[in-house]
Homo-oligomer: A and B are copies of this chain.
Amino acid sequence: MPRIVMKFGGTSMAGIERIRNVADRVRREAQAGNEVLVVVSAMAGETDRLVQLCREAAALHDPKEYDVVVASGEQVTAGLLAMTLQNMGLNARSFMGWQLVRASGVHGNARVEAVESALLDEALGSGTVAVIPGFQGVSGEGRLATLGRGGSDTSAVALAAGVNADRCDIYTDVDGVYTTDPRIVPRARKLEAITFEEMLELAGVGAKVLQPRSVGLAMRENLPLRVLSAFEDKPGTRVVAELSGADMERHQIAGIAADRSEARITLTGIADRPGTLAAVVGPLAQAAIAFDMIVHAATPSAGASDLTFSVPRASLALALSTIEGRKAEIGYAELIHDSAVAKVSIVGVGIRSNPELAARMFDVLAERRINLLAVSASEIKLSVLVAEAEVDLAVRVLHSAFGLDEQAEPAGAAA
């Protein structure tokens, strides 16, 4: 008998009427002959309310106590969904995170270590729908531990892996993964399928459909995901290890992402000698500042050069003071920064095998006279740093140029 995990987000669980709608979907899957494990989020707004209470209680609070408070939201929805399912005539029961999910690492942002699957196997095997609060487990010390915001996705994937589920379906308030943000590009298209790697890169640069950690875990476990609407009957987007068959016909680029949380730092007139780069990068790494997109434009004739890189805007002040504190050691003329920048990325498994996609990206942006402040690349992602004012234009022209627009012109025109 196929075994599936269904995960429902906070919007789908907000109130008894919506919980009944969720129960209807669960019933359909159970009656279609599946063994069903359901992972639920807290009602929309509830976690924020609980976090706010913690802040009011103490500005700086013990993450272990924070976990006790915020874990309660999913406990409530798990019990309510279980009784709603029973009321529909299904066998159903809730299990608590502390009964099943061993977590480790930092409280408030713990990782799933293991799933006690024996209890679940017994329940699922006997035709009982298991309902489990997402976002939480129990620490080695025996205390409640939460997995960080969005952690219910990770709970769902970890539980799916733990019970050897055939599939994990993530029900949410959007109906799938899009080629880009439809608010920027109205002709953004829903993808039928996307690879784990692509999903990770899209999540990493700003698409917020799935918690990145859950995608990484699904990739490691090779567990197929589906992202679909809790409110409409639509097929959604499959997230898989490799595209196959019809999916291969897809354009080489899966999507375009924009990330407005970047800032740019430039050091001018740094000495062209070994170790200069390390003198800058080392202290930043020590301060746990994520830096990216390093451009080192050497001008050998002058014996000095400029160094540009990007950091998260939230870390800008810390990054600047860190560098200023090392001025003598590093040796630079000026320290310049700019918060009005953003990163635009094209993501797709095609990039790996097709170097001309990068060339096309630069051409298209140059045609529109969009200035590239920095460039970085991974195997399946190409990112450029541009002025924030030019982000939307950059996303739109790239979306169109890579043939991603809904009802796009024939492939020839895009290629």
Q: Nearest Cβ distance between residue A61 and chain B, in whole angstroms?
A: 4
Report if A19-B57 is in contact (Cβ < 8 Å); known contacts: A76-B50, A96-B144, A98-B98: yes
Chain A contact-residue range equals: 35 or more
User: From residue A97, how far is it (CB to closest CB) to chain B in Å?
Assistant: 11
| Minimum C-beta distance from A138 to chain B (A) | 10
Chain B residues with Cβ below 8 Å from A75 are: 68-69, 71-72, 75
A82: chain B residues within 8 A (beta carbon): 62, 65, 68
In this assembly, does A300 line the interface, its C-beta being within 8 Å of a C-beta of chain B?
no
Complexed CA–CA distance, A84 and B58 (Å): 6
Most chain B CB within a 10 A radius of its CB, from A62, A65, A78: A65
With contact pairs A19-B57, A53-B16, A53-B76 given, residues A96 and B83 touching in the complex (Cβ less than 8 Å): no
Question: Contacts A58-B83, A68-B75, A72-B75 given; 12 further ones with Cβ under 8 A?
Answer: A53-B76, A57-B80, A58-B84, A58-B87, A60-B87, A61-B86, A61-B87, A65-B79, A66-B79, A67-B79, A96-B98, A99-B142
Q: Would you give the shortest CB distance from A119 to chain B, in whole angstroms?
A: 9
**A–B pairs, 24, beta carbons within 8 Å:** A16-B53, A16-B56, A53-B76, A54-B79, A54-B80, A57-B80, A57-B84, A58-B86, A62-B83, A62-B86, A64-B94, A65-B79, A65-B82, A65-B83, A65-B93, A66-B83, A68-B79, A68-B94, A69-B76, A72-B73, A72-B76, A75-B75, A96-B98, A99-B142
A71-B325 Cα distance, complex, nearest whole Å: 52
A262 to chain B, nearest CB (A): 34
Q: In chain A, residues 134-162, which have Cβ atoms closer than 8 Å to a Cβ of chain B?
A: 142, 144
Query: Whole-angstrom distance from the CB of A69 to the nearest CB of chain B?
Result: 4
A83 contacts B54, CB within 8 Å? yes
Residues of B within 8 A of A71 (CB): 75
Min C-beta distance of A96 to chain B, whole Å: 7
Hey, which chain B residues are within 8 Å of A60, CB to CB?
87
Q: Check if A16 sits within 8 Å of B57, measured CB to CB.
A: yes
How many Å from the CB of A413 to the closest CB on chain B?
A: 54
**Is the CB–CB distance between B83 and A57 below 8 Å?**
yes
Mask, A24-64, CB within 8 Å of B = 1, is 00000000000000000000000000100110111011101
Contact with B along A96-125 (1 / 0, CB 8 A): 101100000000000000000000000000
Neighbour of A80 across the interface among B64, B69, B87, B93, CB < 8 A: B69
CB neighbours (8 Å) of A57 from chain B are 16, 19, 80, 83-84, 87
Q: Who on chain B is nearest to A87 by CB?
A: B58
CB distance from A321 to the nearest CB of B (A): 29
Question: Whole-angstrom distance between the alpha carbons of A325 and B28 in the complex?
Answer: 46
